[in-house]
Structure 1
Amino acid sequence: MVFWIVSGALALVVSIILGLTLLRGRVGDKPPAAYDLQVYRDQLKEVDRDLARGVVGPEDAERTRAEISRRVLSADAQLREGGDSGGQPSRGGRVAALLLVLVLAAGSVGLYSQLGAPGYSDLPLKSRVAQSDAARANRLAQAEIEAQMPAADLNPEATPQFLELMERLRDTVEKRPDDLRGLTLLARNEAALGDYKAAYAAQQRIIDVKSADASASDYTYLAELMVSAAGGYVSKDAEEALRSALERDPRNAPARYYLGLYLMQVDRPDAAFRTWDALLRESNPNAPWVAPIRQHIEEVAWRAGETDYSLPPLPDAPAAATGTAPGPSAEDIEAASEMSTEERDQMIRSMVQGLSERLATEGGNASEWARLIGALGVLGDTEQARDIWTEAQGIFAADQQAMEMLRQAAQSAGVAE
């Protein structure tokens, strides 16, 4: 209420000052016509000085004097008739003053009611932090937020063959609930199908089976699936998964991105800005989290009080981001042919593992998946190559060109139907 009293009083005082000026019809001690007379008299003196210096001729000077004299007579008549008001229309001044009061008083109140926040008190830093802590404490659990979500829409591009494969995969995992390879395939393909709830259930089972050996990437992917299932809401369970990921790897990029999203949702733009700004400056420009961060970070910076923030320029992408992901190429395998069998297998398996982990955490294009299938075939790991081929079919089912590339790799590995 104090705010309304103060703002109303200020608007009224300003309106009165401007209104009195309009009602007086002049500014200063003299009527407007008196100022006009003074200007015209100075102009007559200026004409005489110009004539004396030879700047103007006698005829031009005479014409100018006549025009100025006419204006002097008009201003003098207006001054005599208008008196103190100087001939200004008093009725118009009163109407203008009244309209001014209405516009300033009523208009400012109406404008604030639309653009401002009536009824809200000031929020000092201590209060904002307290509210954020309360928002964290009252964060909904995953099951609670999912209960408010509509039923998930499955991928309409899923082919009958893919759905059949999914049923077979689910049956296999049900019979072998501790099979990490089957669980990994199930989590990835349920996500590709659009059933994120089933996907994160499989991913949670992976973490349970691995127990203390569960990695930061395992927890990050669990949080990502939970956020997807909740329509972008970072639930209490998803936050716990993110914290677990960052305990294992404080520099895990996807976890830091989702942590920034969580901080925004609990009204901590200051912490969200610090998290996203550092991540943005460290990341490959083609990383999947860079585009959404660049889209929103300027607003986050403004909310955090960083008024002079500007987006850092995009650096050139390193070669690894343009489709040359780590993994054994044909040249790598050829070079390994001169090694002993044990050395060759160890080198290739190391590169295969790096590529497999990157595709599992960050995804990749069809050529990278084809490379992984081919490398597994070279190693003779046909079972895993077949699993990867099955998973790739679910991801790239709608892309005929990609499917042809993957099919050729699967045929070379001996796992194509």
Structure 2
Amino acid sequence: MILVWLVFAAMTLATAVLLALPLFYTRKVKNESVFALAVYRDQMLELGRDAEAGLIAPDQAKSAQVEIERRVLALTESPQWQPGRAPSHGLLITAAVALPLLGFGLYLMLGEPALPGQPFVAQHMQPASVSAELAALEADVAAKPTDAKAWVALAAGYDAVGRAQDAATAYGKAVALGAEDAATLAAFGQAQLIANRGEMNDNAAATFRRALAVDPSNPTARFFLALGKAQAGDVEGALTDWMALEKDTPKDAPWRATLEEHIAKAAERLGKPGLPGSGAAAVSGGAATPGPSAVDIAAAESMTPEQRQAFVNDMVGRLAEKLKANPDDLDGWVRLARAYQVLQRSDDSRAAWAKAAALAPARLDIQLDYADAIVAGRSDLDRYLPPEFVEAVGRVRTLDPKNPLGLYYGGLVARVAGNTEEARRLWTEVLEQLPPDAPQRAELRKELDSLQP
């Protein structure tokens, strides 16, 4: 090993000497008159232009011309070529010999000659690290490369960590292996769409249409094909399709809030605000953070229960850890709160919503979600309301006194406080805002009938 390093040192020294040899050539000459003549020639041309333009008097131009000619003639009186300055031999020896030897000695003392090499490409082109759950899914595919379900599970894993292009490739493998059910095709189309930066293209549209051919009621395909219409400028057609989808969507569907948000935005663009909708996201007028989509749920079904639970817990745990380091991340707290809701961890969800509500006291949608999380699952709302719920409702009523959900919650607060007339007034306002066919009307009338006169 030492012999190798000695050879390298000799090569370095030889290279340094070869590079320094030209510096020892002391008979180097330079020609300064060439540059001076070029300058004087330019001055003569400029002087002629100024004289023709009348910018300088003729006598002044003549005097300047004589002076320039005198300087040109003076160049012939001095040597045309001058030797360059001879370099210092001590400096040359230092640069060519001493510095390389000094550097090599320092490396032998302080460096690690036996350390394995780490090329730049090897350091910076390593594949991104993956979680244990995702690695297990990849191993499963490697062991069963013709198993369509294994490819679907891997695609769902890629989708969950934001690797849309990898997800699209994996879904494509699954479809090629026979996974042509509507849920998988819709998931494939969504991955293609996301990989294309959210813009509908021919491939994604064709995949969504294949999903509808299998199941005309598939909500994911219907939603994104309508989105494609909106992106192409047909907002009216998109709104029609979304409203038809809304009628077929259960009230507790996790993607309903996203659907209602798009309906509200499309209606606003067309100058048709106030179209039917339900839930906090629809009545708040704010932008709700989407919950898990139909594709996410369908893809998760392809995993084993243990894989699915481990994958979800891992994602939620990593998000919680990130928020410890960045507690002011409002969007992060909203995502965490919704994730806890999906996992039915009510206390954790309520605490996350509290963080989000504290960070955004002027966000109506977040205050409504926080209020909803406080009373979720309670059956004693006619007798007791937590103080934090009352405070949240107060903020909602201040931000938007006409908000239907805020009016309803305000009625709950008034009823518990014994102010039945105020509760009746608020709930009557809610009834006036609800569409005639809204299912909430019957429930709210029961609440009104229960109020003591």
Q: TM-score category by the smaller chain?
A: 0.3 to 0.5
TM-score (norm 2): 0.35
Instruction: Return the TM-score normalized by structure 1.
Output: 0.38
Richer in helix (by share) = 1
